[in-house]
Amino acid sequence: MKRSVLALIAGAAVAGVLASTSPGSGASDEATAPIYGIKIPAGYRDWKLISVAHEEGNLNDFRAILGNDEAVRAFRENKIPFPDGTIIARLAWKYVASEENNKVFGRPQSFVAGPPINVQLLVKDSRKYAATEGWGFAQFTNGKPDGEAIHKTCLPCHEPAKARDLVFTRYAP
Amino acid sequence: MKRSVLALIAGAAVAGVLASTSPGSGASDEATAPIYGIKIPAGYRDWKLISVAHEEGNLNDFRAILGNDEAVRAFRENKIPFPDGTIIARLAWKYVASEENNKVFGRPQSFVAGPPINVQLLVKDSRKYAATEGWGFAQFTNGKPDGEAIHKTCLPCHEPAKARDLVFTRYAP
Q: Does B135 touch chain A (CB under 8 A)?
A: no
* A113 CB-near residues (< 8 Å, 6+ apart): A62, A64, A93, A94, A95, A96, B51, B52, B53, B172
Is the pLDDT at A1 greater than 80? The verdict is no
Mean pLDDT, rounded, of chain A: 88
**Residues A100-119, mean pLDDT to the nearest whole number:** 94
Q: Give the pLDDT of residue A10.
A: 43
Confidence of residue A166 (pLDDT cuts 50, 70, 90): very high
Residue A53 with chain B: CB contacts under 8 Å: 98, 101, 110-113
Cβ contact (<8 Å) for B101 and A168?
A: yes
Distance of CA A56 to CAs A100, B59, B105, Å? 22, 19, 10
Q: Are A18 and A41 in contact (CB under 8 A)?
A: yes
Q: Are A63 and A54 in contact (CB under 8 A)?
A: yes
* B9 CB-near residues (< 8 Å, 6+ apart): none
Q: Give the pLDDT of residue A28.
A: 53
Which tops the pLDDT comparison, A9 or A135? A135
Q: Give the pLDDT of residue B55.
A: 96
Q: Give the pLDDT of residue B7.
A: 44
Preceding peptide of A41 cis, ω within 30°: no
Separation of alpha carbons A60 and A83, rounded Å: 32
Residue A107 with chain B: CB contacts under 8 Å: 57
**Residues A41-60, mean pLDDT to the nearest whole number:** 97
Q: Give the pLDDT of residue B128.
A: 98
Q: Does B109 touch chain A (CB under 8 A)?
A: yes
Q: Does A160 touch chain B (CB under 8 A)?
A: yes
CATH number of B2-164: 3.50.70.20
Percent of chain A with pLDDT strictly greater than 90: 81
Least confident range from A96-110, A113-127, A132-146: namely A96-110
What are A148-158's pLDDT values in tens digits?
Answer: 999 999 999 99
Q: Are B146 and B33 in contact (CB under 8 A)?
A: yes
Which tops the pLDDT comparison, B27 or A144? A144
From A85, A78, A8, select the one nearest A50 (Cα to Cα). Answer: A78
**Number of CB atoms found within 10 A of residue A56's CB:** 14
The whole-number mean pLDDT for each consecutive block of 10 residues of chain B, a chain of 173 residues, reads: 43 44 49 97 98 96 98 98 98 96 92 98 98 98 98 96 96 97
Q: Give the pLDDT of residue B15.
A: 43
Cβ contact (<8 Å) for A113 and B51?
A: yes
Is the pLDDT at A7 greater than 90? The verdict is no
Q: Give the pLDDT of residue A145.
A: 98
Domain boundaries, chain B: 2-164
**Number of CB atoms found within 10 A of residue A25's CB:** 8
Is the pLDDT at A167 greater than 80? The verdict is yes
What are A61-78's pLDDT values in tens digits?
Answer: 999 999 999 999 999 999
Is the pLDDT at A139 greater than 80? The verdict is yes
Cβ contact (<8 Å) for A53 and B173?
A: no
Q: Give the ipTM of the model, two decimals please.
A: 0.84
* CB-based contacts of A74-77 (< 8 A; 24+ apart in sequence): A75/A50, A75/A169, A75/A170, A75/A171, A76/A171
Cβ contact (<8 Å) for A98 and B46?
A: no
The size of chain B, in residues, is: 173
Quote the pTM value: 0.84
Q: Give the pLDDT of residue A30.
A: 86
Cβ contact (<8 Å) for B110 and A53?
A: yes
Q: Are A142 and A63 in contact (CB under 8 A)?
A: no
DSSP label of A161: G
